[in-house]
Amino acid sequence: MKSNKAQVGMLPRLLIMFTAIILVSVMLMLTFFALSTRQAQVDSRISALKLQAYDIAYLASTSSGSRLETFFNYGFSATRQMLERKLRAVYEEYNAYCLVVERSGQVTGYYSDVISQNQELSSQWDPQDVTRTLNRVLLGEEVILQTNGQTGPMFTVAVPWKQQGKVVGAVYIQTAEQTIQASYANLWQQAAIVSLLTFILAATIAILYTRRLVLPLKKMAASAGLMAKGLPAPQVDDTGFAELNELSNSFNHMSRQIQDTEATRKAFIANLSHELRSPMTSIQGFVQGMLDKTVKPEDTEQTLQIVLDETKRLNHLVSGLLNLSRVEATESKLETQVFNICELIRLVLITRIQPLEEKNIQVITLFEQEEMFALAAKSQIEQVLINLIDNAIRFTPKNGQIKCSVETLDRKTQAVTIADNGIGVAKEDEAQIFDRFYKADQSHTVGEGVGLGLAICKAILERHGQTIRLLPQETGAAFQFTLQKAADNGKR
């Protein structure tokens, strides 16, 4: 029972799946980039602040006097100007604030003097940040401290200030975390734009790829719908995908087979109708003539003989159809046995003694050995021999010749050949000779057959996994079929 619920097609499902995969991948890449970029920017900013702190420590160490406070109280000395420029550069470039303290933790006088004249360079320092790191810095360590200030997270860098090889104090540089974030905010924006463009490009490729993947399947579905309605279906083109090409080739082969089968069915019905109508029309005409007294009394016996012949022809036709249907019924089990194929040929020839003698046909048997054993369904192979020998008798002229031969092809196969020197098979008829109801040279064979004999032979041998073919020869016709050779040639 079909569900009334609308079903989502394969294309939207694949697009949603690919889009989700691409989106998740881009988001993961962007997150990884953001985290790695943030850490890289923090490390880069800390390294830059360290260098600036060491520069300030170097300037603080260039005093020629015993006390730097005295040195920096000399107006516009060169060192003071350089220190002032350095503090301003750190402030403007890194938005950071500096602090120079002595071993006692007190701010140096020259630094206070510079800050007093440049208030924009001053900042509210947390004394605890200085006291908790000063001892480590005085031991010569570099200290990096991350704290929460009044305005938010802060990064503090502290380096030792040395004079004549001794640590005399510390230089601190402090900056807010948001200033570091601002430095790589543009990178994030650029990364987001690149990620968006990547997503759009990948999604476009996924759409085109998915359409190319799904389109052949939709064509196959449409063709299958046409075949279900009994209409001819167009072939599916190659897709460029190995798996889909294999599927499309199989589908195209199936489509051709169905169309061929449909054409064969129509031809079969047309031929069957013709074969049935001809004798029935003949019978009806003669019977009607006898009832209407249009047939003379002296012609009654001849008329009844014609009616009898036509009924025999109908019976032969129906029997042939039943045999063909029985042979093609693959669900029936093939019961095989070991038998002497040479002896079977002799028995069939004996049953055909009368027509052979009537036409004075010479029969030649060429057996590789007197006894050659095959493994097959004996009754069905007998039917093959009957059909082939009957055809040979029918198309061989008087005083003609029929050859029956058996030979070994290989260790597992032997071949049986039935040849005659009759009218043969025209070149244009060879491709259709095994089709149902097909009769070569039909103008000369009216009433002599229904065109099922060779079709039955082919069906029987195909059930056995064997072959039958028309051999090329200058005169007459020769049919050869193969059989499975019995193990040890039937010896026990």
Q: Which residues pair with 375 in a beta bridge?
A: 338
Model confidence pLDDT, tens digit, residues 386-441: 889 988 998 899 999 999 999 998 889 999 999 999 888 888 777 778 876 665 55
Highest mean pLDDT among 13-17, 55-59, 123-127, 195-199: 55-59
What count of Cα atoms within 13 Å lies in the side-chain half-sphere of residue 410? 3
Q: Which CATH number applies to 10-184: 3.30.450.20, 3.40.50.410, 2.40.50.1020, 3.10.25.10? A: 3.30.450.20
All CATH 3.30.565.10 domain ranges in the chain, comma separated: 337-490
| Assigned fold of 242-328 | Helix Hairpins (1.10.287)
Q: Tell me the two tokens of residue 409.
A: 């092809």
Separation CA 470–CA 433 (nearest Å)? 9
Model confidence pLDDT, tens digit, residues 428-441: 777 778 876 665 55
Q: Are the beta carbons of 396 and 402 closer than 8 angstroms?
A: yes
All CATH 1.10.287.130 domain ranges in the chain, comma separated: 242-328
All CATH 3.30.450.20 domain ranges in the chain, comma separated: 10-184
H-run or E-run covering 349? helix 341-351
Q: What is the mean pLDDT of residues 28-41?
A: 72
For residue 490, the model assigns a pLDDT of 56
Whether pLDDT at 73 is above 50 = no
Model confidence pLDDT, tens digit, residues 331-358: 667 788 999 999 999 999 998 898 899 9
Going across the sheet that includes 362-367, the strands are: 362-367, 401-408, 413-420, 478-484, 468-471
Per-chain mean pLDDT for the chain: 77
What's 154's DSSP letter?
E
- The residues, any chain, with a CB within 8 Å of residue 79's CB and separated by 6 or more, are 59, 62, 63, 71, 72
Model confidence pLDDT, tens digit, residues 119-128: 555 566 777 7
Q: Could you tell me how far CA 269 lies from the centroid of its own chain?
A: 40
Q: Are the beta carbons of 175 and 52 closer than 8 angstroms?
A: no
For residue 64, the model assigns a pLDDT of 36
Highest mean pLDDT among 25-34, 266-275, 321-330, 365-374: 365-374
Whether pLDDT at 272 is above 90 = no
H-run or E-run covering 291? helix 242-291
Q: Could you tell me how far CA 409 lies from the centroid of its own chain?
A: 42
Q: What is the mean pLDDT of residues 39-65?
A: 77
Q: Which CATH number applies to 337-490: 3.90.1010.10, 3.30.360.10, 3.30.565.10, 3.40.50.2300? A: 3.30.565.10
Q: Are the beta carbons of 105 and 168 closer than 8 angstroms?
A: no
Whether pLDDT at 324 is above 80 = no
Whether pLDDT at 75 is above 60 = no
Q: What is the mean pLDDT of residues 451-465?
A: 83
Highest mean pLDDT among 60-64, 85-89, 364-368: 364-368
For residue 65, the model assigns a pLDDT of 42
What's 411's DSSP letter?
S
Tell me the whole-structure pTM to 2 decimals.
0.48
